[in-house]
Amino acid sequence: MSTAESEKYVYYFGDGHAEGNAKMKEVLGGKGAGLAEMTNIGVPVPPGFTISTGVCTYFYEHDKSYPPQLQQAVAENLGKVEASVGRKFGDREKPLLVSVRSGARASMPGMMDTILNLGLNDETVQGLARSSGDERFALDSYRRFIQMYSDVVLEIDREHFEHELFALRDRVGAQTDAQIPAESLRELVATYKNIVREKLGKDFPQDVNEQLWGAIGAVFNSWHNQRAITYRKLNQIPDDWGTAVNVQSMVFGNMGDDCATGVAFTRNPSTGEKKFFGEYLPNAQGEDVVAGIRTPLPISKAQVVGDEKSLEEALPDVYEQLVDVYKKLEAHYRDMQDIEFTIQSRKLYLLQTRTGKRTGFAAVKIACDMVDEELITHTEAVERVEAGQIVQLLAPVFDASEKAKTLKGGRLLGRGLPAGPGAATGRIAFSAERAVAMAKEDAVILVRIETSPEDIAGMHSAAGILTTRGGLTSHAAVVARGMGRPCIVGAGHLKVDYSKGELRSEGHEPLEEGDWLSIDGTTGEIIGGKLATRPSEVIQVLIENSMKTEESETFRNFHRLLQWADEIRTLGIRTNADTPNDARVARLFGAAGIGLCRTEHMFFAEERILRVREMILARNEAGRRKALDELLPFQKSDFEGIFRELAGMPVTVRLLDPPLHEFLPQTEAQISSVAREMNWGFIELRNKVNQLHELNPMLGHRGCRLGITYPEIYEMQVRAIFQAACDVKKDGVDVHPEVMIPLVGTVKELQLTADMTRRVAAEVMKEKGVQIDFLVGTMVEIPRAALIADKLGEIAEFFSFGTNDLTQMTFGYSRDDAGTFLPEYVEKKILPKDPFESIDQEGVGQLVKLGTERGRSTNAKLKVGVCGEHGGDPDSIRFFRTCNLNYVSCSPYRVPVARLAAAQAELAAKAYEG
């Protein structure tokens, strides 16, 4: 017997009591859980019921049909709503109207469609007019309903309706919908019904039950519309979670001037500032604010610019109710909330609450402030900031003096609302498709009148987003914040003309597609042309010393949060750095050593490359040694710089790894110049180069294979490492080199190279009379090495998983060529993610786990780390923590992300282990 028979599918909320609560997001979706919780804590919510996500799952598993008992359950709950409100669904005198709202587990802004005023038909609309005493309002509700229902359920393009609405507004000279008189609305309703008849060949449904089930079906169907699929993919939301459906009695924000609808954040979602913050529209219905059709008004006096009238001033008593409610909600959820409300005849109703999306800036500030307010603990603060978001605090801003100059020079085109902080410069694209295409060449600023869910891909590829319409809670603002894109909205003084492909601002030449534009998402300034950026405050304080700690709250919060993370995490964080400068940056970001110092980059500098070429091309060992002797001082000084920079911290130096051909002269001109320098004939040299050519160099003569066939190369490197270490130590600086052998696949390879390393190290230490504390270890990047890790563990003192090569070789994907098919693989769900970005836990990850276990089985003290790109990826870090690695190593700018992610991984592991 299936559990479907006994499962509860419908949950009621209303009159101070709900069958669900905040913890039931999986069953009720985020919206349903929020409505239930608000009802339970005494916040005014119109009564209704939630059809569970289980029905969505059932729907897709049963050929789009419903569980048999659903019909009955819906009818019963509708009855409860009717009793509560004192109106009946479909009644000619006092009709109950409902909204039908989707609501997935994770909020998906604008992805799923809501229908308002359902239950209206030619008869009930008259009942509504009579019972409310307001015919205009009844007709306004009806025309909205026909349009929404036609769009979402009947799939008639809303353009047809909007076209008529705009034309009507022009005809009657109305600035807003609220000014259209009743008789014109009656005409509009008739026109709307004609459109439906024309497009569909039948009448707009008059049966209210048909309307209700049509809407419910449309919500479930919309789970698989293209916009929802795209959003889920970008945000990694599983397809099989499903959506719930909320059916809720209507309250009306469009019944007159003491009515309104709005959205608000309990704190500022862009900056995190602790100020109630929001927007509303008088005499309107919810979708009007969200859709950005009219630019809404500010909620509080403090937000007012110019002569707008805030809610605080227009309806002070209601504003006070709202303040009470938001404080109650924030204290209850102990997090910043994003709320949606409607005011009907001076009475406030909450329609939604959820954890507010925020920028990285706001996330860090809110977490720190809430710790100071004793609302949350350090641990909760660490859990609340998405690790990847913290890089926003490192993103560039415009150079203040450069910007001042452009402003003086008259390049300021206008201002809009700062919706996503950060500076962006790019070429103008007027459509999402163009943005995607142009972003392949240059940075792009997507410029739109407003954005809609169809634009997501374009927004994703843009460096910044500018809209001329809509408020801080419009689609563009919400999505840009989620993506961390600099964004300005509601720049009403600028005019976008799609047909001419122009952006106009009075007193300026119009800009066209491809022209440069700069936007400051922190201040809202829009500037013509390209504008230089400068480092963020965090960089200025930490790296450049050009700003003081006291001057930057952003830096102080960044620093505090990461310190709390450090108290939690057990996983060490190192960096991949090849130069003293990179090492310094990483150290300042909190890296505790170098996990990968590549030596090959050091060979490319001008004075060195020739000697490297001489070494490779030498006719015999003597020639090779001579060139190596000349290279040694260079290498030694490189290592000295790094050792001094990382005083006392471990530094893993990888011996030469890439195929030799990377160093060879390629062009005829290069060959002839090297030939001259080396006193060789051109032909002779070219033959030698050809002879060294490899078909698959990445699988060819590289890594320890070079160290074994040309032992003098590795010997020179080891000598340089230890000479540098001894000299630095003599100066009183503590040094801990860790020599790492790359590309080991057999025991003997490691044995030979490790023996040589230890022998040369001993020789140098004896010559210098200095004792160095060092380790010898191996990369584990060939699958075979992971499989024989127990034997390698007997020789190596540490392992470092080179997960880039390990991924390449385990999958058999060439990293340089995988771009041709990997995107399609991810698209077709052959792979959940690009395995070069996030570790493939099922396969490659198992080699990491097994290699670690086997290595430690013979060497309990074995130190194990990761040095691939995955070391800076939060999901991969979570996985590596479960493998009990000692550290991850990542590029310097990812170090803060890794610190935070490692703390979160620790908390997750602890929660899992109980």
Q: Which residues of this protein are in contact with ligand ADP, per CB under 6 A?
A: 46, 99, 101, 110, 114, 116, 248-251, 261, 286-287, 290, 340, 342, 351-352
User: Which option in Mg ion, ligand ADP, none does residue 91 bind, with CB closer than 5 to 8 A by kind?
Assistant: none
- Smaller CB separation from ligand ADP, 351 or 862: 351
For ligand ADP, the nearest residue by Cβ is: 286
> What is the smallest separation between the CB atom of 417 and ligand ADP, expressed in angstroms?
19
Q: Which stretch binds Mg ion (CB under 5 A): 114-122, 164-172, 592-600, 815-823?
A: 114-122
Spatial neighbors of 569 by CB under 8 A, at least 6 apart, are 899, 902, 903, 905, 906
Return the DSSP state at 284. -
> What is the smallest separation between the CB atom of 62 and ligand ADP, expressed in angstroms?
26
Amino acid at 895: V
With 0-12 CB in 10 A as exposed, 13-18 as middle and 19+ as buried, what is 203? exposed
Q: Which of 248, 249, 295, 352 binds Mg ion (CB under 5 A)?
A: 352
- Smaller CB separation from ligand ADP, 152 or 538: 152
Run of H or E residues at 359: none
Return the DSSP state at 914. -
> Would you call 259 a catalytic residue per the annotation?
no
> What is the smallest separation between the CB atom of 231 and ligand ADP, expressed in angstroms?
12
Cα–Cα distance between 22 and 908 in angstroms, integer? 21
> What is the smallest separation between the CB atom of 110 and Mg ion, expressed in angstroms?
6
Cα–Cα distance between 748 and 794 in angstroms, integer? 12
Cα–Cα distance between 406 and 394 in angstroms, integer? 24
User: Which option in Mg ion, ligand ADP, none does residue 248 bind, with CB closer than 5 to 8 A by kind?
Assistant: ligand ADP
Q: Which stretch binds Mg ion (CB under 5 A): 124-132, 206-214, 338-346, 846-854?
A: 338-346
User: Is residue 114 a contact point for Mg ion (CB under 5 A)?
Assistant: yes
- How many Cα atoms are found within 13 Å in the side-chain-facing hemisphere of 240? 2
Backbone torsion region of residue 132, taken as left when φ is above 0, otherwise alpha when ψ lies between -120 and 50, otherwise beta: alpha
Q: Are 288 and 281 in contact (CB under 8 A)?
A: yes
User: Which option in ligand ADP, Mg ion, none does residue 389 bind, with CB closer than 5 to 8 A by kind?
Assistant: none
Dihedral pair phi/psi, residue 687, rounded to 5°:
-60, -40
- Smaller CB separation from Mg ion, 476 or 796: 476
User: Is residue 246 a contact point for Mg ion (CB under 5 A)?
Assistant: no
Run of H or E residues at 628: helix 621-645
Backbone torsion region of residue 102, taken as left when φ is above 0, otherwise alpha when ψ lies between -120 and 50, otherwise beta: beta
> What is the smallest separation between the CB atom of 44 and ligand ADP, expressed in angstroms?
12
> What is the smallest separation between the CB atom of 110 and ligand ADP, expressed in angstroms?
6
User: Which option in ligand ADP, Mg ion, none does residue 286 bind, with CB closer than 5 to 8 A by kind?
Assistant: ligand ADP
- Smaller CB separation from ligand ADP, 139 or 348: 348
> What is the smallest separation between the CB atom of 111 and Mg ion, expressed in angstroms?
8
Q: Are 595 and 576 in contact (CB under 8 A)?
A: yes
Catalytic residue among 56, 160, 368, 475: 475
Q: Cα–Cα distances in Å, from 236 out to 228, 241, 372, 473, 533?
A: 12, 11, 33, 23, 31
Burial 9-40 (b: 16+ CB within 10 A, else e): bbbbbbeeebbbbbebbebbbbbbbbbbbbbb
Cα–Cα distance between 410 and 528 in angstroms, integer? 9
User: Is residue 102 a contact point for Mg ion (CB under 5 A)?
Assistant: no
Backbone torsion region of residue 589, taken as left when φ is above 0, otherwise alpha when ψ lies between -120 and 50, otherwise beta: alpha
> What is the smallest separation between the CB atom of 232 and Mg ion, expressed in angstroms?
16
Q: How many residues bind Mg ion (CB under 5 A)?
A: 3
- Smaller CB separation from ligand ADP, 99 or 147: 99
> What is the smallest separation between the CB atom of 650 and Mg ion, expressed in angstroms?
51
Catalytic residue among 259, 487, 867, 890: 867
User: Which option in ligand ADP, Mg ion, none does residue 650 bind, with CB closer than 5 to 8 A by kind?
Assistant: none
User: Which option in Mg ion, ligand ADP, none does residue 533 bind, with CB closer than 5 to 8 A by kind?
Assistant: none
> What is the smallest separation between the CB atom of 217 and Mg ion, expressed in angstroms?
17
Q: Are 277 and 106 in contact (CB under 8 A)?
A: no
In three-state form (DSSP H/G/I as H, E/B as E, the rest C), the secondary structure along 374-397 is CCCCHHHHHHHCCHHHHHHHHCCE
- Smaller CB separation from ligand ADP, 344 or 757: 344
- Smaller CB separation from ligand ADP, 82 or 790: 82
Cα–Cα distance between 573 and 569 in angstroms, integer? 10
- Smaller CB separation from Mg ion, 352 or 522: 352
- Smaller CB separation from Mg ion, 156 or 594: 156
In the sheet that 464-467 helps form, which strands lie side by side, from edge to edge? 412-415, 525-528, 516-520, 423-429, 444-448, 464-467, 487-489, 417-420
- Smaller CB separation from ligand ADP, 452 or 751: 452
Cα–Cα distance between 428 and 470 in angstroms, integer? 19
> What is the smallest separation between the CB atom of 153 and ligand ADP, expressed in angstroms?
15
Q: Which residues is 265 bridged to in the sheet? A: 277, 338
Residue given tokens 């044995």 in the structure block:
751
Q: Which stretch binds Mg ion (CB under 5 A): 112-120, 375-383, 430-438, 854-862?
A: 112-120
> Would you call 559 a catalytic residue per the annotation?
no
Query: How far does Cα 232 stand from its chain's mean position?
Result: 12
Q: Which stretch binds Mg ion (CB under 5 A): 57-65, 333-341, 407-415, 431-439?
A: 333-341
Cα–Cα distance between 9 and 61 in angstroms, integer? 16
- Smaller CB separation from ligand ADP, 288 or 537: 288
| Binding positions for Mg ion, rule: CB under 5 A | 114, 340, 352
Catalytically annotated residues: 475, 867
